[in-house]
Structure 1
Amino acid sequence: MIRTELHSGWTVRAAGGPVPDGIAAVPVPATVPGTVHTDLLAAELIPDPYLGENEAALVWFHRSSWLYETALQAAPAAPGERVDLVFDGLDTVATITLDGAELGRTANMHRGYRFDVRDRLRGAAVPLSVRFDSALEYAEQVQKVLGERPRPYPHPFNAVRKMACSFGWDWGPDLQTAGIWKPVRLERWRVARLASVRPLATLDGSTGRLVVHVDVERSGLGVDGPLVAEVRVGDHVGQIPLRAGETSGMTEIAVPDAPVWWPVGHGDQPLARVDVLLRDDTGELDAHHARVGFRTITLDETPDEIGSAFTLVVNGKPIFVRGLNWIPEDHLLTRLTRDVYAAAIGRAVDANANLLRVWGGGIYESDDFYDLCDELGVLVWQDFPLACAAYAEEEPIRSEILAEARQNIARLAPHPSLALWNGGNENIWGHEDWDWKAALGGMSWGARYYYEDFPALLAALDPTRPYHPGSPSSPGHDPEAVHPNDDRYGTRHEWEAWNRQDYTYHANFLPRFCSEFGWQAPPTWSTLRESLAAEDFDRESPAFLAHQKAEDGNGKLDRGIARHMRVPADFAEWHWATQLTQARATAYAVAHLRGHAPRTTGSVLWQLNDCWPVTSWAVVDGAGRRKPAWYALRRGYAPRLLAFRVEDGRPVLVAVNDTDQPWRGTVRLRRVAFDGTPSAGADAALVVAPRAVSVLRPAPDLVTAADPAREVLVADMDALRATHLFAEDFDLAYDPAALSADIRPAEGGYSITVTATSFARDVALLVDKIDPDAVVDDMLVDLLAGESHTFHVRTAWADPQAFRSPAVLRSANALAAPAGA
């Protein structure tokens, strides 16, 4: 097998649609892999769609067509040689032409394509072109044929196999990209090639089991002899003989005392290389290389007195999932590199997460993503890419969904991090609750995919991993009998808190597994500065609202603030209030879910990341900067957690120990006045078993405030702290000037010691306001009167005193009006 990349020499030009005159006549150099947007940006022909209101200025893209062109110069096929033109990904509605002859048409960005071109190569350069037509217009035509099906947004994204959020989402832009978005190459081969290799690694006690399936394509030139595929893992070798005419086979290899792969926080992540060589009697024909990890993953859905469990079990050990939902890290996907993925996934690991859910409105992620998750021990929950809509089960949609599923199940099979396949996002819930049934009038909506097709494909191609029909859903139950979002079964999405209630609404439900919940906030200040003009720093400015996609998003932000503190009129103060509320909402929900283990066995926050600068539920903004909520999440997802919750009107202390060692110690409980005067105190022995939760109920006099406006309940143990306030911020007698700072040089930047003269809540340093590249090590620290905390700031900024500015050194104190004001 000889593979030759075809990534150079391409141009792209408009081929139709409402393209502006200055662009329509201009062929520009094209980067492959790439998209038209990134090429026109590089040629300075369009403004950056992420800035200001530029997204709206580029809506003409939606109905435009584009032509990629290059010259293909390749030697003619030798006798008995097959030559294929291979596209790993085309976005999305494409026509491929070589030397004036059409090779094929595509309409699915989630799969690859292969064309036999052996009869079209002459040695001289021949023109190769790929024309991309409007995916929107294609979807509209499919919709006319198959019928319009419910969806949450105007464009019929559910009628074309393109990344759903390409068409806009409540956190993403509506750009509708087009281009050769994955590698393209020529492959020369003879006799046979490895069409698919599926290494499936599991554990049987201490013995690793590696089952390798191979599918081969024969050349079709009359060569139909015997073949053998040799499989090697370490010192262990297996053979897959393929007799004349056979195109598939398998072998199983036992690996005694195999190194065991574990999720992060539960053990190491050793990976074993698997080599597959395809041979005939003349020698090697093709080769495939992969890495596997030996582990076994199951899903415990045992019925119990509550409903039924939903627990991921790895190597026989139940895992409490501390997860995050993952959307595409950049809307312009082809800008993503391995380094970008490494940084983004690293921020999840640094926040103590052990799972990423690849959400169903995006893509099957890149090989880099899964490779990094393998190496870091991050479990992957993989949605099939169907989201928030009804999907036709008829052609041309059906065969495309099944084809992409087959390809990607096979592609992802080796990865030990891949823990769970999920049928789609909110589609089963939508069918039950979002008035779909009347709109559908009996039309198909996707049930066959979720309940028949995907389980059948996985049973045939990858029976080693569990499958869940949808998030949320109550598996094994008729959705009309047991609601798909019932908290007693399966998975739950909690969106009533954000949409209509308050983050404290989480206390009303004890889900078995919560796979979506979250709270919005704008991006960090520096990211706003990079994406908006100074005059647009107003929550009602058109440019700011262009980056707030949620329905009544600002209204929900204001109401969320108002339930706990005053809503600031000043934009900078409002920005801090929204970020602080997001952080508190995150901490509250996570502590609630973790504190009710083992009834609840998973917390998957919506969401880790953004794909552009936007007000959203992400804890890391579109520029990769950590919001305050990221620090709240890191504390909430720490292996050990102390938190107060209210039971029967009184605070109780919850201690979570998600380690393999018992947690023993003495917890110091105090009720303290804001000025530091002690009111009550007690020490209590605390013992929490490994991977368990303990609840401590302090004496009534300790948890009953004498002056609710001026007292705080504090629990300290092993450098962890939990605090409980007896009133909302707007009724608390905070001292707004309680903080001072001492700044000293330190390695890589500065150490900033903050001291409180009165109780200070949620102390933070918003260092990016001074230096966009600055990073602080901690945030949202509660200080009692007389206490200090030293923050470490990584920065090259020359003026350390800038970091003591009141705009940088923040707390909740200044946001809440003093009592009686």
Structure 2
Amino acid sequence: MTRSNLHDGWRLRAVGGPVPADLVDRDVPAQVPGSNHLDLMAAGLIPDPCADGNEAALSWMHRVDWRYSTTFRAEAPRAGERVELVFEGIDTVATVELNGGVLGHTANMHRGYRFDVGGSLRDGDNDLTVTLRSALAHAEQAEAELGWRKRAYPHPYNAIRKMACSFGWDWGPDLQTAGLWKPVRLERWDTARLSQVRPLVTVDPDGAGRVDVHLALDRAADRDYTVLVTVGDRTGALAITGDTAHVTVLVPDARLWWPVGHGDQPLYDLTVALLADGRQVDAVRRRVGFRTVTVDTEPDEHGTPFAFVVNGERVFAKGANWIPDDHFLTRVTRERLARRVDQAVGANMNMLRVWGGGIYETDDFYDLCDERGVMVWQDFPFACAFYAEEEPLRGEVEAEARENIVRLVDHPSLVLWNGNNENLPAYTDWEGWKDSLEGRSWGNGYYHDLLPKIVEELDPTRPYAPGSPYSPGDLPPNDAHHGTRHDWDVWNSLDYTHYRDHVPRFSAEFGFQGPPTWTTLTRWIHDEPLTPTSPAFLRHQKAVNGNANLDRGLTPHLPVPTDFEQWHRATQLNQARAVAFGIEHYRSWWPRTAGALVWQLNDCWPAISWAAIDSDERPKPLYYALKHAFAPRLLTVQPRDGSPTLVAVNDHDEHWTGAVHVTRQDFAGEVLATAVLPLDVPPRSTASSDLPDDLLEPADPRREVLVATAGGIRTHHLFREDLDLDYHPEPFTADVTPVTGGYRVDVRAGSYVRDLTLLADKVAADAVVDDMLVSLTAGETHHFLVLTSEKLREPTSLLHPRVLGCANTFTSGGSSTTRRTNSPDR
């Protein structure tokens, strides 16, 4: 078996549609894997779509047809030899030709294609062309044939099996990429190849790891074969007489794979070797991890839970929703994915939900999650739309589901298959959607019949959910008491304090917007002046009423600044506070609430969005809020029976015991009341403590704060919103000292300081600070570590009030009044 990549010598040409004059009859070098936008950018023929208003200027590309072509040298097939041309991924509607003959057609970005070229491959040069039709034109034609169906955005993304957010979303651009986005290769064999390897990994009651390898052969020669399966140091062998086989390998006393924070992530090498007459003719190598996973949905006194159970242990899912990490998918390298997954772990997350408007992620993504213990909730690619259940769409849906389930089945990180994103409430709850169908299919058969049957057939080791949100039976899909819930009333219409209106069983989506970091924003948007309503800024604010919601969300808590840079900082702060508020509420109700997945971890372009990490990979203040709110141990003040109550959350295997020291003090640091409360929280549980009345009855609620501390864990509780607090306008002093790898910024509070942030990227583009949103009582100190490769000419720039600031300055009438000092350079 030989495999030869065909990635060299490709050219790209526009061959149909509204082609600009400077592109007519012109071809350019093309990268494969790659996409048309990237090739045209590399040739200097189009501007970067991410900058300013270029996205709109490139809308002509939506209706252009493109042709990729190359010439490669090969030998004609020998007698008895099989040769296939393999495309792992084509984006999207293509006609594939070899040496002038049509091999076939494609219409699905989410699957691969194989073409038998035994009759068309020749000795010497071979001409390969892939002509890509406009995906928009194809979708419009398919919609005309299958019938119009509602969707959340204008283009008919629901009529084509292509990444839905390629057509634009409320955080992403409308670019409609085209290209060969995964590897292309030639495969040759004269014996047999392993056409499918499907390892089902389970754990027996006695602790033995079981790997049931189901495999299929594609034979070129009718002869006897043997398959050899090795898992770690254990081996199983089987002689194969047909085209399918099943080999079981047991690993006694298997070490279990655990989510991060619950244990280790041991992985075992799996090798499946195909032998002919003792000679290896093909092999597949994977890694597997032994663990069990179920979802507890047994009704209880509160309704219907939705709790992940791994190796028999209930796990609170702390995580975020994941979108493609770059709109141009081939720019997402393994190294970039590793940085992103590491950031998720660094924010104390243990789950990422691969959202249904994107893609089935690359093997690299799941490999990294396996290694780091990040559970993956995998949506099938259906989102915010109705989908036809008739052919040819149905056949494509089945083909992609089968292919990707088999591809991903060996990953221990994958813990759930989910039918769709928000299509169930679209049918039952969204005004006018159901009536618009007029009897047409809408996807229900996929979510409740086709997909669960395929999962049961190919991957019975994992749970399946029909959709998110989902409630069982005839209940509304978004019922807070049953199953999974999405909370978008907060952000769309309600203040973030309304997260407390519901105690969901599992919050699979909730979030609040904020702009990207200052350096990312000003790298890509160059309006003069730059304002929330300047033209290019608005091109990157895709949410309906996005800016209005940002200001509305600020109004109950902070002033709405007229200075743009201050507005930028205030909206980032409010985003961080809003999401942390929701997380602490949800975690305080464990085990009734069993998960909180924030919308969203990442961005695919420089957007004003819900992301915690922007498209240039910089963490926003929200990221640090997630790190705090998802910490293994948490103290939070929550309302219980009408009174503020201290809740301790212990997401740890060890008992949390000791004492909580609680004080009520004024902003100047005078202690006005104090109490010591016993702390006794069993592993993976919560405990509540009533607070004495004298702690909850401030003499001056505008100038006092409640502080609870247990060891290194603390929480602050204020008695009024910032707008009504009498903060000191000069609450801290600071100095900066060079250290190895960057700088240390030392802050000392002279009065109460709330949500201290250091926006280091404003000083050095690569600068990252170790923490943000730090609150200090009078007399306390904090040390920030800023890592950067730059040697700053003026280290005191890290102390500038637009770099180092806190919430106090938004309401105290000054943003540049804090006294700052500088330590001498070392």
**TM-score range, shorter-chain basis?**
over 0.9
Deviation at 1:662, TM superposition (A): 0.4
Q: Give 2:225's match in structure 1, choosing from 224, 227, 237.
A: 227
Report if the CA contact (8 A) 1:558-1:567 is conserved. yes
What does 1:150-165 correspond to in 2, within 5 Å?
A: 150-165=150-165
Letter in 1 for 2:311: N
Work out which of the residue numbers 403, 407, 418 in structure 2 matches 1:407. 403
2:776 pairs with 1:783:
yes
Work out the CA distance in 2 between the residues paired with 1:701 and 1:414. Answer: 57
SS in 2 for 1:345: helix
Counterpart for residue 360 of structure 1: 356
* Residue 177 in structure 1 maps to residue 173 in structure 2: no
Report what 1:116 is aligned to: 116
Paired position in structure 2 for 1:802: 797
Note if contact 2:469-2:486 (Cα within 8 Å) is conserved in structure 1: yes
Query: Is the 8 Å Cα contact of residues 35 and 177 (structure 1) preserved in structure 2?
Result: yes
Q: Is 1:347 aligned to 2:347, yes or no?
A: no
Q: Do residues 324 (structure 1) and 320 (structure 2) align? A: yes
1:192 aligns with 2:192: yes
Q: Which residue of 531, 538, 543 maps to 1:545?
A: 538
Q: Secondary structure at the match of 2:551?
A: helix
Shift of 1:24: 2.8
Deviation at 1:308, TM superposition (A): 1.3
Does 2:812 match 1:812?
no
Distance in 1 between residues matched to 2:529 and 2:400, nearest whole Å: 43
Q: Which residue pairs with 1:462 in the alignment? A: 459
The question of whether the paired residues in 2 share the 8 Å contact of 1:735 and 1:758 is answered with: yes
Task: String of CA shifts for 1:59-98, please: whole Å, max 9, x gaps.
Answer: 0010001111111221011111000000000000011000
Per the TM alignment, residue 173 of structure 1 is displaced from its structure 2 partner at its CA by 0.2
Instruction: Give the Å deviation of 1:272.
Output: 0.6
Residue in structure 2 matching 1:641, options 634, 649, 659:
634
Residue 536 (structure 1) shift? 4.7
Question: What's the offset of the Cα at 1:718?
Answer: 1.4
- Is contact 1:672–1:712 with CA below 8 Å preserved after alignment? yes
Any idea what SS the aligned residue of 1:178 has?
Answer: coil
Which of 726, 729, 736 is residue 736 of structure 1 equivalent to?
A: 729
Q: Which moved more, 1:737-746 or 1:423-432?
A: 737-746
User: What secondary structure, in the 3-state scheme, does the structure 1 residue paired with 2:168 have?
Assistant: strand
**Cα RMSD for the two superposed structures:** 1.2
Instruction: For 2:151 and 2:296, locate their aligned partners in 1 and report how far apart those are by CA, in whole Å.
Output: 32
Could you tell me whether the CA contact under 8 Å between 1:731 and 1:818 is conserved in 2? no
State the Cα deviation string for residues 471-494 of structure 1 (Å, max 9, x = none).
00013x13xxx1100011110001
Q: SS at the partner of 2:695?
A: coil
Deviation at 1:816, TM superposition (A): 1.7
C-alpha separation between the residues in 1 aligned to 2:233 and 2:653? 33
Letter matched to residue 789 of structure 1 = H
For 1:166, give the aligned amino acid: S
1:53 alignment partner AA? G
Among 236, 239, 242, the residue aligned to 2:240 = 242
Q: Secondary structure at the match of 1:238?
A: strand
Q: Quick one: percent identity of the two aligned structures?
A: 55
Distance apart, 1:654 and its partner CA: 1.1
1:596, 1:364 → 2: CA distance? Answer: 32
Separation in structure 1 between the aligned mates of residue 518 and residue 380 of structure 2, nearest angstrom: 35
Instruction: Give the letter aligned to residue 716 of structure 1.
Output: T
Q: Which residue of 1 aligns with 2:210?
A: 209
Q: CA deviation at 1:234?
A: 2.3
How far apart, in 2, do the equivalents of 1:520 and 1:231 lie?
49
Distance 1:282 1:658, change over 3 A: closer
Question: What is the deviation of 1:742?
Answer: 1.5
Shift in Å, 1:677: 1.6
Q: Which residue of 2 aligns with 1:511?
A: 504
* Selected match of 2:589 from 596, 599, 606: 596
- Alpha-carbon distance in structure 2 between the residues aligned to 1:774 and 1:561: 28
Q: Single out whichever of 17-26 and 561-570 deviates more from structure 2.
A: 17-26
Alignment of 1:382-397 (within 5 A): 382-397=378-393
In structure 2, the residue corresponding to 1:755 is in which secondary structure? Answer: strand
Aligned equivalents of 2:26, 2:697: Cα separation in 1:
74
Alignment of 1:23-62 (within 5 A): 23-62=23-62
What is the CA deviation profile of residues 761-820 of structure 1, one whole-angstrom value per residue up to 9, with x for unaligned ones?
00111111111111111111111112111111112242211011010111000112569x
Taking the TM superposition and a 5 Å limit, the aligned residue runs for 1:255-270 are 255-270=251-266
TM-score by length of 1: 0.97
Distance 2:504 2:727 in 1: 36
Measure the CA separation in 2 of the matches of 1:122 and 1:52: 49
388 and 80 in structure 1: CA distance in 2 versus 1, 3 angstrom threshold:
same
Q: What secondary structure, in the 3-state scheme, does the structure 1 residue paired with 2:729 have?
A: coil
* 2:697 alignment counterpart: 704
Q: Is the Cα contact below 8 Å between 2:737 and 2:745 reproduced in 1?
A: yes
Is 1:732–1:818's contact at 8 Å kept on the other side of the alignment? Answer: no
1:136, 1:39 → 2: CA distance? 20
Q: CA deviation digits over 1:581-637, x for unaligned, max 9?
A: 011011100100111000001110100000000000001111110000100100011
Decide which of 658, 672, 675 is 2:651's aligned counterpart: 658
| Contact 1:771-1:797 within 8 A present in 2 as well | no
Q: Of the candidates 470, 473, 490, which is equivalent to residue 470 of structure 2?
A: 473
CA contact (8 A) 1:730 1:817 kept: no
- Give CA deviations for 1:149-173 in whole Å, capped at 9, x if unaligned: 0101000000000000000000000
Give the CA deviation at 1:25.
3.0
Q: How far has the Cα of 1:740 moved from its partner?
A: 1.3
How far is the alpha carbon of 1:426 from its aligned partner?
A: 0.3
Deviation at 1:433, TM superposition (A): 1.1
In the TM superposition, what is the alpha-carbon distance from 1:684 to its structure 2 partner? 1.3
SS at match of 1:119: coil
Q: Which moved more, 1:599-608 or 1:716-725?
A: 716-725
1:608-687 aligned at under 5 Å gives the runs: 608-687=601-680
C-alpha distance after superposition, 1:86-140 (max 9, x if no partner) = 0000000011000100000100000000001012122121211000110000000
Query: What's the offset of the Cα at 1:35?
Result: 0.4
Give the 3 Å change call, closer, same or farther, for CA 58–534 of structure 1 in structure 2. Answer: closer
Matching residue's letter, 1:430: A
State the distance in 1 between where 2:464 and 2:697 align. Answer: 48
Following the alignment from structure 2 to structure 1, what is the Cα–Cα distance between the partners of residues 346 and 481? 31
- Matches of 2:24 and 2:173, distance apart in 1: 23
SS in 2 for 1:535: coil
Contact 2:389–2:441, Cα closer than 8 Å, also in 1 = yes
The code of the aligned residue for 2:532 comes to R
Partner of residue 824, structure 2: none
Contact 1:734 1:818 in 2 (8 A): no
- 8 Å CA contact 1:652, 1:697 repeated in 2: yes
1:284 and 2:280 equivalent? yes
Distance 2:719 2:542 in 1: 35
Which residue of the partner structure matches residue 440 of structure 2?
Answer: 443
Structure 2 CA distance for aligned equivalents of residues 168 and 534 of structure 1: 22
Which of 311, 314, 317 aligns to 1:315? It is: 311
